[in-house]
Each structure stands twice: as C-alpha cells, then as structure tokens.
Amino acid sequence: MTSGIVKIVKSAVLALFFAASLIATASAADAAKTAPQFSSETLTIATKSGASHPFTVELALDGAQREYGLMFRTQMSADHGMLFEFDKAQRVQMWMENTVLPLDMLFLDASGKVTHVVQNAVPYSRTIIDSGGPVKYVIEVNAGIVRKLGLAVGDKATSPTIGQR
C-alpha cells in the first residue's frame, strides 16, 4: 500500500514539473514574440592606453526597448552588445530579471566617458545594479569582455548615437 502511494506522489510531482516547464516555455515564447525591434550601429571604445575596440550594438532608445533590453537572449557574439540611451543624464538602476546571459555593464556620461563599470552581472537576478551617479548611456556586453579588453573608468565610447541628441 505504501509503495502505491509513493508512486502516485512521484507521478503527481512529475506531472506538476512537466506542467510548470510547459508554462515557462510558453511564457518565454510569448515574451519573445512581443520583443521590440532594435536597430544597430557600430560603437567604438577607446581605452586610456590607446587601444580601440569596435562593437556592433543594438540600440535601446525608447522606454519599451530599454525595459526589454537583452532579456531572453541565449547568445550574443563577443563583439556585440546593446547601447541604452536615456532622455537625460540621470541615476540609472537596472537588474537582470529574465536576462539569460551574464553581462558586463559600462555606464557613460553624456560625452561617452565611462564613469562606472559592473562586471559579471548575474543572470535572472533582481539585485539592483546602480550607475553610481548620473549617466546618459549604458553599454551591455557579454560578461568577461571588460576584463579581457581591459576596459575601465575613463575610457571613451563613440558612436553615431552617443553625444548626438
């Protein structure tokens, strides 16, 4: 009798796990369907030591694009990223909820100068990532790129978007 109950409980747990997986998959698919469209451009980061690193960045220029960002992405090329532009220089707070990829974040003032760097932001985390002061732009790249390229506070990013509006 006891083994019969155990089998029923195991079956019920398995069924619940399967149903939850289907719901999560459907939710991710629905979210991906509602993703805003992003245009892209070339962005270059010049380090204080004189090195120059080009990236192709998608542009998050309006509220819907900034809110969605890189959520649900499962891969991104090493030389790609996303540039978030805000209407004015302001303190920015971000988080990684629904973001699958670990990311490095570079916070920039209105001229494109890097004012703050956060490395290895944890996927799915709701921990607030703060700009540490007013910024106009944020660049997100794959985690490890900041360390690999030696990017740091004081470096300068340029693109058709940065400093143009």
Region 82-105: mean pLDDT is 97
> So what's the pLDDT on residue 23?
47
Instruction: Sheet containing 114-121: give its strands across.
Output: 114-121, 103-108, 129-142, 80-94, 52-60, 40-46, 156-158
Q: Which CATH superfamily is domain 40-158 in?
A: Protein of unknown function DUF192 (2.60.120.1140)
Cβ-proximal residues to 117 (8 Å cutoff; 6+ apart), any chain: 104, 105, 106, 107, 146, 151, 152, 153
**Residue, of 125 and 7, whose pLDDT is higher:** 125
The answer on pLDDT for 139 being more than 60 is yes
- The three-class DSSP label of residue 47 is coil
39-89 pLDDT, tens per residue?
999 999 999 999 999 999 999 999 999 999 999 999 999 999 999 999 999
pLDDT tier for residue 8 given thresholds of 50, 70 and 90: low
Give me the residue spans of the domains in the chain: 1-34, 40-158
> So what's the pLDDT on residue 34?
82
> So what's the pLDDT on residue 165?
59
> So what's the pLDDT on residue 35?
87
3-class secondary structure per residue, 102-140: CEEEEEECCCCEEEEEEEEECCCCCCCEEEEEEEEEEEE
